[in-house]
Chains A and B, each alone.
Chain A
Amino acid sequence: QQQVKQSPQSLIVQKGGISIINCAYENTAFDYFPWYQQFPGKGPALLIAIRPDVSEKKEGRFTISFNKSAKQFSLHIMDSQPGDSATYFCAAISYSSASKIIFGSGTRLSIRP
């Protein structure tokens, strides 16, 4: 079973700080790496995504850093706000695999005011 390992399991950051969530994958056959944000009682929502031929993608306060050789990617949330408190999932998608999308185990982020 292809795996995506996500850390930390939970994270507390002060308002205005930088939140960093890390993911590592085992198989090089993945084609697309999205991050999802999930608030309690809601379904996940796509936050930002990156392809493996790009090392960094930035959208507002959210940045994905991608290290293909290390098979690692991370989400950075700059100037973290209380409204960012949610669970974040990384994922890896293989266009050719029947299992399609593999999710990390999730990180519960709490931003302290």
Chain B
Amino acid sequence: DSGVTQTPKHLITATGQRVTLRCSPRSGDLSVYWYQQSLDQGLQFLIQYYNGEERAKGNILERFSAQQFPDLHSELNLSSLELGDSALYFCASAVGAGDNNEQFFGPGTRLTVL
């Protein structure tokens, strides 16, 4: 158990809908990263937050947004969902903002868009 929690574990929704994925980092970790894992695109970095501020952006679509709250939990919002958004979404947390800090991954949320 990495100490990172993600909810929900599974999510099934329809095209055009909006969903929110939630992540609670390990105690003491200030950084939260979001990743998408799909069969065709593999594992891709989406976005990083550090202590409430956006730190880095990867291949995140404009339909997706994220935020990190004062209690350091983070939410990933996916809107206008398309079939291709079906994937596993992982968050990871790390102590610091630096890229060589070990990231601890949560168990993921499996999103299915029908």
Q: Which residues of A contact B (CB under 8 A)?
A: 31-32, 41-46, 49, 89, 93-95, 98-106
When A and B form their complex, which 8 residue pairs have the shortest distance between CB atoms, in order from nearest?
A43-B105, A103-B43, A93-B99, A43-B90, A101-B45, A105-B42, A44-B105, A100-B45
Question: Which residue of B44, B57, B92 contacts A43 across the interface (Cβ within 8 Å)?
Answer: B92
Q: Closest CB of chain B to A32's CB: distance in Å?
A: 5
On B, residues with C-beta under 8 Å from A are: 2, 4, 42-45, 48, 56-59, 90, 92, 98-100, 102-108
Complex interface: chain B residues within 8 A of A101 (CB): 45, 58, 99
Chain A contact residues: over half helix, strand or loop, or mixed? loop
> Once the chains bind, are A93 and B42 in contact (CB under 8 Å)?
no
Task: Give A94's nearest chain B residue, CB to CB.
Answer: B99
Shortest CB distance B86–A (Å): 17
Measured between alpha carbons, how far is A44 from B107 in the docked complex, in Å?
A: 9
Which of B44, B100, B107 is close to A42, meaning CB atoms less than 8 Å apart? B107
- Known A100-B48, A101-B99; judge A43-B58 contact (CB<8 A): no
- Cβ-neighbour of B106 out of A43, A89, A94 (below 8 A): A43
B56 touches which of A32, A89, A100 (Cβ 8 Å): A100
- For A45, the chain B residues whose CB sits under 8 A away are 2, 104-105
Known: A98-B58, A99-B58, A100-B56. A44 touches B102 (CB 8 A): no
Contact B45 A99 (CB under 8 A): yes
Identity of the chain B residue whose Cβ is nearest the Cβ of A99 in the assembled complex: B58
Other A-B pairs, 18, CB within 8 Å; known A89-B43, A105-B42: A31-B99, A32-B100, A41-B107, A43-B2, A43-B105, A43-B107, A45-B2, A46-B102, A93-B99, A95-B100, A98-B56, A98-B57, A99-B58, A99-B59, A101-B58, A103-B43, A103-B44, A106-B43
